[in-house]
Structure 1
Amino acid sequence: MNKQQRIKKNTEFQRVFKKGKSFANRQFIVYLLKGEQDEFRLGLSVSKKVGNAVARNRVKRYIRQAFLELKDDLLPNADYIIIARPQAANLDFHESKKSLEHVLKIARALPKK
C-alpha cells in the first residue's frame, strides 16, 4: 500500500470514529466513512491485548494483504479503520480474509457474490 492509502494521524482517526459508522464481528471492528478522495484509505489499530509484537504485526500484515486482494471490489472513496479484537490473533491468513470479507459485507462496502 502506498502512503496515500494510509490513515496515520490521530485527527484523521478521530474524524472517522466520530462521523463514520461501525460494523463488527468476533474478530474485527470496521469503521467506515465515505469521503471524496479517489482511492480508499486504511487505518489499523491492534492493541496489546491481541498479543506480543510478533502476533500484532502478523495480524496487521494479514489485514493489509487482504485489503490489497480486495481493493478492486471495495468502495473506492471511503476511509476504513480496522480494529483487531484478541480473537484475531488465532487466525491464519485465509480465516482473517474471510472474516474481513464478512464484516465488510455487513458494512455494504463489499458487494455480495
Structure 2
Amino acid sequence: MNKHQRIKKDKEFQRVFKQGKSFANRQFIVYVLKSDQPEFRIGLSVSKKVGNAVTRNRIKRYIRQAFLEMKEELAPNADYVIIARQQAAKMDFHESKKSLQHVLKIARALPKK
C-alpha cells in the first residue's frame, strides 16, 4: 500500500464522512466516496476502545493486507474509510478479510460472486 493510496489528512476524512455513504457489519464500518482519481485510497480508524497499541496496529495491518489482496476487484475511483469496531480485535487475518469482503459487497464496491 503506497503513501499516495492512503487518506491521512483530517479534511479528507471529513469529506468522506460528510459526502460518502456508510455501510456496516459487526466488525467494520466502511464509508465509500466516489472520486475522480485513478487509484482507490483508504483511510483507517481504530479507536483506543478497541485495544492497546499492539492490537490496533495489528488490525490496521490486517485491513491494509486485505485491501492489497482485493485491489484488482475493488472499484478504482473511490475513497474508503474503514472504522474498526471492538469485535475486530478478536479476529485473525482470514476472518478480518472475510468480514471486509462482506461489508464491501454490501457497499457494492466488490462484485458479488
- Pairwise TM-score range, normalised by the shorter structure: over 0.9
Q: 1:69 maps to what in 2? A: 69
Q: 1:36 maps to what in 2? A: 36
RMSD: 0.3
Gaps of at least 5 residues in structure 2 are none
Gaps of at least 5 residues in structure 1 are none
Superposed displacement of residue 4, structure 1 = 1.0
Q: 2:27 maps to what in 1? A: 27
Aligned length: 113
State the TM-score, normalizing by the size of structure 2: 0.99
Does 1:78 pair with 2:81? Answer: no
Superposed displacement of residue 36, structure 1 = 0.1
State the TM-score, normalizing by the size of structure 1: 0.99
Distance 1:32 1:95 in 2: 21
- Deviation readout 1:34-90 (Å, 9 max, x if unpaired): 000000000000000110000000000000000000000000000000000000000
Distance 1:91 1:76 in 2: 27
The ranges of structure 1 where at least 4 consecutive aligned residues each deviate by more than 3 angstroms after the TM superposition are none
Distance 2:15 2:5 in 1: 16
Distance 1:65 1:26 in 2: 20
Identity of aligned residues (%): 82
